[in-house]
Amino acid sequence: MSAINKALRRLLPLLLCSAVVCAEGLPSNVESSLVADIKSAQQRLASTQKQLTSERTTLGKQLHDLNAQVRQLRKETAVARRLADEQTLSLDQLRERLTEWRNQGRYQHNLLASQHQQLASAPERDLPVRESFSAGLDWLQLRLQAMEQQLYPKWQNGSLVSPEGEVVSAAQIKMGPVQWYLQNDAERGGLLEHSDEQRLPLAALEFRGAELKQLQQLQRDGRGNVSFDPTLNRALALSKNQESLLDHLTKGGVWVLPILAFALFALVIALAKALQLWREPKLLPALAERCEKLLNHQEGAALIKLAQQTQGAQREMVEIVCASASSQQRDDRLFACLLGHKHRLEYWLGAIAITAAVSPLLGLLGTVSGMIKTFKMMTLFGAGDPSVVSGGISEALITTELGLVVAIPALLLHAVLQRWVKSYYSQLEADAIKFSQIETAPSATGVQL
């Protein structure tokens, strides 16, 4: 239709010109006939244009309706696809998605509540002037942008202080009070910490392995299980204050040295006594009965062979029994032998017991000394800062802790070694009593060891 209209507009001047030219050389009746034809052509052209305009309007309305139908069909298709996806999801996935939606709704509700509380508690000087409508609109726009950033956080580039103390640029995202950073070029990321003393955030904890991959997935896909500090930087503060064993002992002061010296002393003695008891020869069972039987039957060769099988205290007892001429002499020598072996077995065991008793006392002495220094500092500088007082008390208690740590194992070692010695000595004592009850005089048998 538009092409025909354009063609008619181009031909209309030509027809008029030709009609005028022809009219100059034609009679008046022919001229009137041509004018009538031209007018009728103009009327037909106007009607055609009017018809084209009405058809164009109708087609435009039909096109608009079709576009609206297409948009509606697209929405219905998206809804149908979502429903189809929901039907294919498993029950666990639906529960997980429902939990995520609830957490997101709870988070947004808390943010809105905090914003409402801030607006309610804000002083009038922080609010825009009521008479300035444009200032109020600008202030409201800023508040809406801040709320949108909190509700829908996005990654933003910013500066931070790295663990090495350098100012670097990295992508950052903040969700409530928790903020993360990610350096894709250096493959580094972790938690950020804000401090009132520093303008730039500080890299408090650096992620490794799976935690870093989850943070990268959060930046790439918008979804990820990232780690955060639920205690709001308290756990980070505890991790920073972790100290080595040497640093912990150094805080105890000079009284740590004697406690450690006693601990080393008791440990060396315990190891030496354990080695000594382990190397003691094993005791033969029923040795006195066997010797008495051989003496009664006057089997000197068998008695000599039996004596050669024994070692240590038992061999010495057998020699005493065979070499003694009388029972009184035998009993006295057996008693002296038992006393000598008892002294050798229990030698230095008392030092371990002394260590177990002295270590807590030294720890208490160090604590009292530290408390005196703490109260002296409070007298000079006051107790306005609780961290100074609590820090001094904690350092003073280190010596008590160390004294108990040394005393408890020393007491256990002493009890174990004492039981070991008592068990070994009881067997020797039982053999000596049985040897003293032998009535046959060994010298009468002619046995010489």
Please report which confidence band the pLDDT of residue 98 belongs to, taking 50, 70 and 90 as the band edges: confident
pLDDT at 359: 95
Asked whether 295 and 442 are in contact (CB, 8 A), the reply is yes
Give the Cα separation of 157 and 72 in Å (integer): 40
pLDDT band at 23 (very low <50, low <70, confident <90, very high): very low
Mean pLDDT value of segment 351-376? 90
Please give the full DSSP string across 71-129, using - where no structure is assigned: HHHHHHHHHHHHHHHHHHS-HHHHHHHHHHHHHHHHHHHHHHHHHHHHHHHS-GGGSPP
**CA distances, 299 to each of 199, 303, 442 (Å):** 100, 6, 11
The whole-angstrom separation of Cα 433 and Cα 287 is: 12
Q: Count the helices and strands in the chain (H runs, E runs).
A: 15, 5
Nearest to 414 by CA among 315, 273, 241, 303: 273
CA distance 184 to 215: 10
Cβ–Cβ < 8 Å for 226, 180: yes
**CA 177, CA 194: separation in Å to the nearest integer?**
10
337-354 pLDDT, tens digit per residue, is 899 989 999 999 999 999
Comparing 134 with 169, the larger pLDDT belongs to 169
Long-range contact set of residues 32-36: C-beta below 8 Å, sequence gap at least 24: none
**What is the full DSSP assignment across 234-280?**
HHHHHHHT---HHHHHHTT-TTHHHHHHHHHHHHHHHHHHHHHHHHS
Helix (H) / strand (E) containing 204:
strand 202-206
Residue 256: what pLDDT? 92
**Residue 111: φ, ψ to 5°:** -65, -45
Give backbone dihedrals phi and psi of 186, rounded to 5 degrees, phi first: -100, 0
Q: Which two tokens stand for residue 250?
A: 């150094």
Most confident by average pLDDT, 67-76, 102-111, 305-314: 67-76
Name the residue with tokens 């004294």: 403
- Structure confidence at residue 357 (pLDDT): 95
Pairing of strands 156-161, 178-183: unpaired
Bridge partners of residue 172, in order along the sequence: 156, 181
Q: What is the pTM of this model?
A: 0.54
Q: Which residues on neighbouring strands pair with residue 188, listed in sequence order?
A: 183
Quote the Cα angle for 101-102-105, to 5°. Answer: 85
pLDDT (tens digit, 9 = 90+) per residue, 146-194?
777 667 778 888 888 887 778 888 888 887 778 888 887 768 888 888 7
Beta carbons of 406 and 421 less than 8 angstroms apart: no
